[in-house]
Amino acid sequence: MTPESSASVILLVDDNPTNLNILVAALRDSGYKLRVAQDGESAIAQIPYAQPDLILLDVMMPGIDGFETCRRLKADPATQAIPVVFMTALTETFDKVQGFQMGAVDYITKPFEIDEVLIRIQTHLAIQNLQNQLQIQNQQLQQEIHDRQKAQEALQVFLHAVSHDLRNPVTGGLMVLQSLLGEAEKQAGSVIVPESVIHRMIQSHDRQLELINSLLETQANEVAGVCLHLRPVKLLDLVNQLTADWEALLSKNEAILHNLIPLDLPPVNADPNQLWRVYENLMMNALKHNPPGLTLTLAAEIIEVQQTPAEQNQLMMCCTVQDDGEGIPPEQSAMMFELYKRGQTARRTVGLGLGLYLCRQIITAHGGEIGVDSTPGTGSRFWFTLPLSH
């Protein structure tokens, strides 16, 4: 048994029982799996379920002959790659050129020289295997090229965003320091620094630190995945704590928050710290991309998530963060959670667009999904699902 014969299926097509018996005996002894047809129509009909690796096809048959059978096989994308070897008697007039033009890879003559038949079959199966491997490698190479191009594009966006987002606070801080230095030189080495200037410099450096931390976390999650410490979490308790911490920031942005999460919801199976960060990122995203006076609404409900036909539907918690702001254009909604994508309406804070990407990483690690429904002018509704705690 050869490597080619161990799992190879050969379809024999011949109307002569004697020829079929000879080939069946020889090929079966060599370890091939065999299918048999006595005319072209039945051969074509059984190919979808037989899935042959090679076809031995008689030229002279009742009904459609071997040439027409081969032509139909090569005209069908589903069968055109199967190698066809014609079988012809020495007494028959066989147009070799026509056979090769029809797409055959070889021909053998009757009466059969079994050793020759086996060698030719092994050769063409080996060639076919190599072609299949080359095709797979080519597809993998094309995918790698595509992935590298996408990575290069993302890197270009990343470098542009980093240069933009870090340059602004660094430049602003440098200008303040240069101004203070100029005042100090005028006043013989001493200068009074207003409290507002100190606050601006602290905020500037906080933004730089936040950006650097987000970059490090994103990279760590990409390499090792999001680390979760799962336990039952009462959603209402977590959101109540979150809204209490956010009172000052909401007041600063003249925003109103409505907590509509029901008291009687069952707990979710989640990492409370990571879930906290999802809510914070979604709420901060809403404040950042809308004018003051925004209304935020937090809600949650149990939904039934459809699984594959073989699996039962699953109950999940669907959490929503909704605002009445400017909304998001459809072309932006489709890429909101991609790496280094950001909205075009940020008003006060600039960033790499890492927040929503981190949200997707966290929710995906929990086994949930995340998305957004939005119409320009009517606000946005961000949603994500979490498994219930059992």
Position 144 pLDDT exceeds 90: yes
Residue 347 has pLDDT above 50, yes or no: no
| Secondary structure of 217-241 as H, E, C letters | HHHHHHHHCCCCCCEEECHHHHHHH
Indicate the range of 196-210, 211-225, 270-284 predicted with least confidence.
211-225
Find all residues with CB under 8 Å of 359, minimum gap 6, and list them: 277, 278, 281, 282, 337, 370, 384
Going by C-alpha positions, the residue among 324, 359, 322, 326 that lies closest to residue 341 is 359
Total tally of structural domains belonging to the chain: 2
Domain-embedded: residue 195? no
d(CA 21, CA 26): 9
Domain boundary among 63, 94, 112: 112
- Could you tell me if 237 and 371 lie in one domain? yes
Residue type, 145: I
Looking at per-residue pLDDT, the higher value among 384 and 213 belongs to: 384
**Residue 36 is part of which domain span?**
9-112
Backbone angles phi, psi at 14, to 5 degrees: -160, 140
Distance, in Å, from the CA atom of 42 to the CA atom of 35, rounded to the nearest integer, reads 11
**Residues in Cβ contact with 388 at an 8 Å cutoff, skipping those fewer than 6 apart:** 266, 267, 268, 269, 302, 315, 316, 317
Cβ distance 389 to 269 under 8 Å? yes
**Residue among 177, 301, 281 nearest 235 (CA):** 301
Residue 14: pLDDT band with limits 50, 70, 90: very high
CATH of the domain at 331: 3.30.565.10
Boundary of a domain, candidates 112, 147, 178: 112
Q: Say if residue 215 is exposed, middle or buried (CB neighbours under 10 Å; 0-12, 13-18, 19+).
A: middle
For residue 284 the two structure tokens come to 């901060």
Q: How confident is the model at residue 46 (pLDDT cuts 50, 70, 90)?
A: very high
Which band of pLDDT confidence, cut at 50, 70 and 90, is reported for residue 2? low
Q: Based on the fold, state whether residues 378 and 235 are members of the same structural domain.
A: yes
Q: Which of 81, 112, 143 is the last residue of a domain?
A: 112
Claim to verify: residue 244 and residue 96 sit in the same structural domain? no
In this prediction the pTM is 0.52
Residue keyed to tokens 């606000």: 379
CATH number at residue 33: 3.40.50.2300
For residue 92, the SS3 value is coil
Taking residue 354's Cβ as centre, other Cβ atoms within 10 Å add up to 22
Q: Please, what is the average pLDDT of the chain?
A: 84
In this structure, what token pair is assigned to residue 198?
Answer: 């100190």
pLDDT of residue 337: 82
Return the exposure string of 55-79: e unless at least 16 CB atoms fall within 10 Å of the residue's CB, then b.
Answer: bbbbbbbeebbbbebbbbbbeeeeb
Q: Is residue 345 scored above 60 in pLDDT?
A: no
Judge contact between 386 and 317, C-beta under 8 A. yes
pLDDT reported for residue 92 = 65
